[in-house]
């Protein structure tokens, strides 16, 4: 019944939109606003892997591609709208894309007029992924394909930091998040999460798995590396996705990190498998004594919560101390959750969405003993980073949540009342895929965007 209602909802949305708007809503986040390509292939091209005639493209869009995250759109929007969307793609693919309209440098929001400064638009060697400020002038930025860079006085240092480990799986993984030790000013420890490969050979044939490490940055060198978390080689995966992985230090000095389901649904509910969970360790990699599975030989003892499809954002509420997470879900199943020790958030036993091939992941959306989200979104915006604002430049936004979206390319400002979302405002739509959000030392809001890769600063005008 709920799947049927979801289909009716999406059909109603589709019928109200012309084909160009349908494309921007459902396709642009993966294939680019101008069909130029992005996370997936360009659509302005002559060579098509699965056939380039109208009939062949229609078949692909209607029924999806087995083994790929290409949705069978005939299950989600009315067939006349699918046909109109295909006609729009076919009519556009051989023409030069129109020059993209310039995005405004100011936005009028409910509480403020916001100034948008594009601090870095060139110089990244691959997609920027995470940012952390080490002092009032400097920040460190990770790059997906294995980069670590300095940002100094708002400018990207052209010299990369050398010595960081090799990584692979550049679609949804690679060199991912970073965090600073709570005593960074004294000890200089920097923590990194990345996809670690085994062996040699082609990327798609090498087993890989998430590792958490720490080291120090001396000038432009990564030194003193220590391994904090890994799993045995037999638990590595070949050619997977949905890796996670965000890092967070809480007030007590515990390090939280997330690992996505890695497209291994059968492993998510197993305590002896790493996929689909959040974790908590001490800063030296040891296990806190009050972890929910500490001391159990049948479990990975760093596990903090279970049943998380792909937590892409995590932060601690500055007042309540609760740990919140954003879950990049299936279609119609992106979630906002309060992450509590030992709880099970249900994936894939329960979900409010469909899998990306249009099939049902589960026929139920709730079950005793499994947590319901604080909020879920239909259709899925592709939730990413989460940041509670703690600066002083935007006093009306103090302690409110800012959530990024990859697919819908937007920021969601969430005003919370306890464990409920009281108000939601969407802004900065279409500027790029929002990868990370941070409160700067001066109180500005910094955004790492992909496609195009850039660093943006938001201040009140």
Instruction: Give the pLDDT mean for 87-106.
Output: 81
CATH 2.120.10.30 fits 106-460, yes or no: yes
Rounded to the nearest integer, the mean pLDDT of the chain is 91
Instruction: Give the pLDDT mean for 30-37.
Output: 77
Task: Dump pLDDT digits (tens) for 326-373.
Answer: 999 988 899 999 999 999 999 999 999 888 777 789 999 999 999 999
Number of Cα atoms under 13 Å in the Cβ half of residue 343: 13
Phi-psi region of 239 (alpha: psi -120 to 50; beta: other; left: phi over 0): left
Residue of 187 and 100 predicted with greater confidence: 187
Q: Which residue has the tokens 């969601």?
A: 412
pLDDT at 9: 42
Question: Hey, which bits of 4-161 come out as E strands?
Answer: 106-108, 113-120, 128-133, 138-143, 147-152, 155-156
State what percent of residues in the chain have pLDDT above 90. Answer: 71
Instruction: Give the pLDDT mean for 159-172.
Output: 94
pLDDT at 12 over 60: no
Structure tokens at 2: 């709920």
Domain residue ranges of the chain, discontinuous segments joined by +: 2-93, 106-460
Instruction: Render the burial of 141-152: b for 16+ CB within 10 Å, e for the rest.
Output: bbbbebbbbbbe
Task: Dump pLDDT digits (tens) for 360-392.
Answer: 899 999 999 999 999 999 888 999 999 999 999
Task: State the sign of the Cα–Cα–Cα–Cα dihedral 10, 15, 19, 20.
Answer: negative
pLDDT at 68: 64
Distances (CA, A) of 268 to 145, 191, 256: 26, 25, 18
Phi-psi region of 295 (alpha: psi -120 to 50; beta: other; left: phi over 0): left
Structure tokens at 295: 């001391």
**Measured distance CA(91)–CA(208) in Å, rounded:** 41
pLDDT at 39: 65
pLDDT at 308: 98
**Measured distance CA(173)–CA(203) in Å, rounded:** 12
Q: Which residue has the tokens 């979630």?
A: 335
Phi, psi at 58, each rounded to 5°: -60, -40
Distances (CA, A) of 402 to 21, 208, 352: 26, 31, 22
pLDDT at 69: 64
pLDDT at 1 over 90: no
pLDDT at 17: 66
pLDDT at 90 over 50: yes
Angle at 333 between CA 350 and CA 408, to 5 degrees: 170
pLDDT at 24 over 60: yes
Closest CA to 300 of 309, 291, 312: 291
Closest CA to 408 of 6, 8, 3, 13: 13
pLDDT at 8: 41
**Measured distance CA(408)–CA(257) in Å, rounded:** 25
pLDDT at 6 over 50: no
- Confidence band, pLDDT 50/70/90 cuts, at residue 394: very high
State what percent of residues in the chain have pLDDT above 70. Answer: 93
pTM, to two decimals: 0.86
pLDDT at 199 over 50: yes
pLDDT at 29: 66
**Measured distance CA(171)–CA(264) in Å, rounded:** 17
pLDDT at 15: 47
pLDDT at 56: 76
CATH 1.10.760.10 fits 2-93, yes or no: yes
- Confidence band, pLDDT 50/70/90 cuts, at residue 67: low
Q: Is 267 exposed, middle or buried (0-12, 13-18, 19+ CB in 10 A)?
A: middle
DSSP notation for 219-263: TTEEEEEEEEE---GGG-EES----EEEEEE-TTSPEEEEE--TT
Phi, psi at 268, each rounded to 5°: -65, -40
User: Given the DSSP bridges, would you call strands 303-306 and 401-405 parallel, antiparallel or unpaired?
Assistant: unpaired
Task: Dump pLDDT digits (tens) for 404-439.
Answer: 999 999 999 999 999 999 999 999 999 999 999 999
pLDDT at 272 over 50: yes
pLDDT at 7: 43
Phi, psi at 132, each rounded to 5°: -140, 135
């Amino acid at each position: 019944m709920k799947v049927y209602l979801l289909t009716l909802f999406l059909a109603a949305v589709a019928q109200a939109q012309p084909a160009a708007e349908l494309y921007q809503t459902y396709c642009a986040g993966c294939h680019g606003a101008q069909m130029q390509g992005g996370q997936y292939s360009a659509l302005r091209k002559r060579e098509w892997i699965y056939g380039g005639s109208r009939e062949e493209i229609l078949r692909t869009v209607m029924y999806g591609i087995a083994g790929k995250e290409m949705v069978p759109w005939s299950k989600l929007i009315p067939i006349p709208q699918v046909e109109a969307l295909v006609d729009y793609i076919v009519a556009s693919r051989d023409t030069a894309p129109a020059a993209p309209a310039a995005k405004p440098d100011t936005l009028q929001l409910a509480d403020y007029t916001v100034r948008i400064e594009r601090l870095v638009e060139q110089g990244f060697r691959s997609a920027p992924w995470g940012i952390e400020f080490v002092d009032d002038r400097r920040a460190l930025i990770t790059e997906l394909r294995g980069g670590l860079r300095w940002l100094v006085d708002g400018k990207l240092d052209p010299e990369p930091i050398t010595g960081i480990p090799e990584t692979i799986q550049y679609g949804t993984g690679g060199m991912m998040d970073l965090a600073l030790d709570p005593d960074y000013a004294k000890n200089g420890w920097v923590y990194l999460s990345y996809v670690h490969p085994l062996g040699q050979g082609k990327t798609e044939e090498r087993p890989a798995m998430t590792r958490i490490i720490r080291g120090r940055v001396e000038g432009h060198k990564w030194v003193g590396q220590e391994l904090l978390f890994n799993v045995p080689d037999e638990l590595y995966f070949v050619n997977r996705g949905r890796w996670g992985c965000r890092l967070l230090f809480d007030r007590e000095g515990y390090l939280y990190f997330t690992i996505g389901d890695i497209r291994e649904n059968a492993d998510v509910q197993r305590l002896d498998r790493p996929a689909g969970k959040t974790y908590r360790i001490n800063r030296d990699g040891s296990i806190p004594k009050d972890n929910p599975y500490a001391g159990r030989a049948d479990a990975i003892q760093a596990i903090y919560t279970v049943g998380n499809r792909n937590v892409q954002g995590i932060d601690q509420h500055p007042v309540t101390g609760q740990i919140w997470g954003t879950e990049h879900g299936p279609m119609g199943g992106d979630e906002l959750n309060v992450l509590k020790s030992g709880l099970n958030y249900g994936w894939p036993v329960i979900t409010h969405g469909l899998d990306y091939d249009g099939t049902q992941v589960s026929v139920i959306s709730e079950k005793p003993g499994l947590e319901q989200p604080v909020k879920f979104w239909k259709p899925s915006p592709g939730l990413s980073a989460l940041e509670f604002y703690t600066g002083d430049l935007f006093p009306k936004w103090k302690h409110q949540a800012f959530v990024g979206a990859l697919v819908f390319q937007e920021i969601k400002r969430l005003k919370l009342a306890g464990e409920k979302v009281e108000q939601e405002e969407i802004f900065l739509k279409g500027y790029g895929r929002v990868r990370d959000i941070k409160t700067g030392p001066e109180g500005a809001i910094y955004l790492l965007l992909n496609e195009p890769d850039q660093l943006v600063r938001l201040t009140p005008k």
